[in-house]
Structure 1
Amino acid sequence: MQYHALSLANQVFPFPSLSIFLFYPSNFMICYLVVRFFILCIPSNALQALLEVDIVAYGGSEPHGALLANPSIHLYIMKQWPTARQSLPRILILLLKPLVQFFTLLWFLCIKVPSPDIFIVQNPPSVPTLVAVKWASWLRNSSFVVDWHNFGYTLLGLSLGRNSHFVSLYKWFEKHYGKMADASLCVTRAMQHELAQNWGINATVLYDQPPDFFHPASLEERHKLFCRLNKELCQPLGFRDCVSNGTSLIGSHGQNETLFTNEVGPDIYLKRNRPALVVSSTSWTPDEDFGILLEAAVMYDRRVAAILGEDDSLDEDVVWKEISDGKQCLYPRLLFIITGKGPEKEKYEAKIKRLKLKRVAFRTMWLSAEDYPLLLGSADLGVCLHTSSSGLDLPMKVVDMFGCGLPVCAVSYSCIKELVRVDKNGILFSSSSELADELVMLFKGFPDECDALKILKNGALETSSSTRWATEWEEHAKPLINKARL
Structure 2
Amino acid sequence: MLDNYIFQLVLFLAVILSSLFTLVLITLPSQYNICKENVETETDEKKLVSKGKTENKTVKAKQGKTVQVVVLGDIGRSPRMQYHAISIAKHGGSVQLIGYKESEIHPDIVFNPLIKIMPLTPSPSFLHSSSNLLFPIVAPLKALWQAFSLYYALGYETEPSRWMLVQNPPSIPTLAIAQLICFLRNTHLVIDWHNFGYSILAMKLGPNHPLVKIASLYENIFSRSAAFHFTVTHAMARVLSSSYGVTALPLHDRPAELFRPISWEQRKQFLSGLEQTKEYADEICESSSLHRSPGWKLIVSSTSWTADEDFSILLDALCAYSAAATSKVKLPKILAIITGKGPMKDYYLERVAALNQEKRLLNVVIQTAWLTPSDYALLLASADLGISLHTSSSGVDLPMKVVDMFGAGLPVVGWGKFEAWPELVKQDVNGKGFESSEQLCQQLVELFEDKDGKLLGKLKDGALEESKRRWDEEWDRVGGKLFKLT
**Corresponding residue SS for 1:409:** strand
Q: Name the residue aligned to 2:84.
A: 23
Q: Name the residue aligned to 1:364.
A: 368
The residue type equivalent to 1:4 in the other structure is: T
The structure where helix makes up a greater share of residues is 2
Q: Name the residue aligned to 1:327.
A: none
Task: State whether residues 228 and 248 of structure 2, in contact with CA within 8 Å, keep that contact through their aligned partners in structure 1.
Answer: yes
Verify: 1:435 aligned to 2:440, yes or no: yes
**Corresponding residue SS for 1:371:** helix
The alpha-carbon distance between structure 1 residues 421 and 379, as it changes in their structure 2 partners (threshold 3 A), is same
d(CA) in 1 for partners of 2:311, 2:126: 29
Q: Name the residue aligned to 1:7.
A: 69
d(CA) in 1 for partners of 2:284, 2:164: 47
Deviation of the 1:37 alpha carbon? 5.1
d(CA) in 1 for partners of 2:461, 2:285: 22
Q: Name the residue aligned to 1:27.
A: none
Deviation of the 1:452 alpha carbon? 0.5
d(CA) in 1 for partners of 2:341, 2:83: 25
d(CA) in 1 for partners of 2:300, 2:205: 31
Deviation of the 1:78 alpha carbon? 2.3
The alpha-carbon distance between structure 1 residues 36 and 424, as it changes in their structure 2 partners (threshold 3 A), is closer
Deviation of the 1:90 alpha carbon? 2.9
Q: Name the residue aligned to 2:310.
A: 289
The residue type equivalent to 1:6 in the other structure is: Q
d(CA) in 2 for partners of 1:274, 1:102: 54
The alpha-carbon distance between structure 1 residues 223 and 13, as it changes in their structure 2 partners (threshold 3 A), is farther
Q: Name the residue aligned to 2:93.
A: 51
Where do 1:351-430 residues align within 5 Å? 351-355=351-355, 356=359, 357-412=361-416, 413-430=418-435
2:470 to 461, 468, 471: 468
Task: State whether residues 72 and 100 of structure 2, in contact with CA within 8 Å, keep that contact through their aligned partners in structure 1.
Answer: no
Verify: 1:278 aligned to 2:302, yes or no: no
CA RMSD of aligned residues (A): 2.5
Q: Name the residue aligned to 1:74.
A: 116
Deviation of the 1:36 alpha carbon? 10
d(CA) in 2 for partners of 1:159, 1:373: 32
Deviation string 1:185-209 (CA, Å, 9 cap, x unpaired) is 1111111111111111111111011
**Corresponding residue SS for 1:56:** strand
Q: Name the residue aligned to 1:350.
A: 350
Deviation string 1:114-167 (CA, Å, 9 cap, x unpaired) is 211111112111111111111111111111111111100111111111111111
Deviation string 1:256-307 (CA, Å, 9 cap, x unpaired) is x756459xxxxxx889575110000001011111111111111112223334
The alpha-carbon distance between structure 1 residues 72 and 16, as it changes in their structure 2 partners (threshold 3 A), is farther
**Corresponding residue SS for 2:483:** helix
Deviation of the 1:220 alpha carbon? 4.0
Would you say how many aligned residue pairs link Structure 1 and Structure 2? 412
Task: State whether residues 22 and 51 of structure 1, in contact with CA within 8 Å, keep that contact through their aligned partners in structure 2.
Answer: no
Task: State whether residues 304 and 341 of structure 2, in contact with CA within 8 Å, keep that contact through their aligned partners in structure 1.
Answer: yes
**Corresponding residue SS for 2:393:** coil
Task: State whether residues 69 and 95 of structure 2, in contact with CA within 8 Å, keep that contact through their aligned partners in structure 1.
Answer: no
d(CA) in 1 for partners of 2:457, 2:160: 51
The alpha-carbon distance between structure 1 residues 418 and 162, as it changes in their structure 2 partners (threshold 3 A), is same
Deviation string 1:414-470 (CA, Å, 9 cap, x unpaired) is 210000000110000001111111001111245xx11000000000010111x2111
**Corresponding residue SS for 2:475:** helix
d(CA) in 2 for partners of 1:377, 1:14: 21
Higher gyration radius (CA): 2
TM-score (norm 2): 0.79
Task: State whether residues 200 and 393 of structure 2, in contact with CA within 8 Å, keep that contact through their aligned partners in structure 1.
Answer: yes
Where do 1:213-224 residues align within 5 Å? 213-224=258-269
Task: State whether residues 388 and 413 of structure 2, in contact with CA within 8 Å, keep that contact through their aligned partners in structure 1.
Answer: yes
1:479 to 462, 471, 481: 481
Where do 1:81-480 residues align within 5 Å? 81-86=123-128, 89-230=134-275, 232-233=276-277, 260=284, 274-308=295-329, 330-355=330-355, 356=359, 357-412=361-416, 413-446=418-451, 449-465=452-468, 467-480=469-482
Q: Name the residue aligned to 2:61.
A: none
**Corresponding residue SS for 2:70:** strand
Deviation string 1:1-54 (CA, Å, 9 cap, x unpaired) is 232222223569964548x63527xxxxxxxxxx8958xxxxxxxxx8213332
Task: State whether residues 13 and 396 of structure 1, in contact with CA within 8 Å, keep that contact through their aligned partners in structure 2.
Answer: no
d(CA) in 2 for partners of 1:10, 1:107: 13
**Corresponding residue SS for 2:342:** coil
Deviation of the 1:96 alpha carbon? 1.2
Q: Name the residue aligned to 2:102.
A: 60
d(CA) in 2 for partners of 1:58, 1:13: 6
Deviation string 1:319-364 (CA, Å, 9 cap, x unpaired) is xxxxxxxxxxx32111110001111111111111222223211111
Task: State whether residues 6 and 36 of structure 1, in contact with CA within 8 Å, keep that contact through their aligned partners in structure 2.
Answer: no
Q: Name the residue aligned to 2:3.
A: none
Bigger RCO of structures 1 and 2 (CA < 8 A, at least 6 apart): 1
Where does the alignment leave 5 or more consecutive residues of structure 2 unmatched?
1-37, 39-63
d(CA) in 2 for partners of 1:293, 1:92: 34
Task: State whether residues 230 and 250 of structure 2, in contact with CA within 8 Å, keep that contact through their aligned partners in structure 1.
Answer: yes
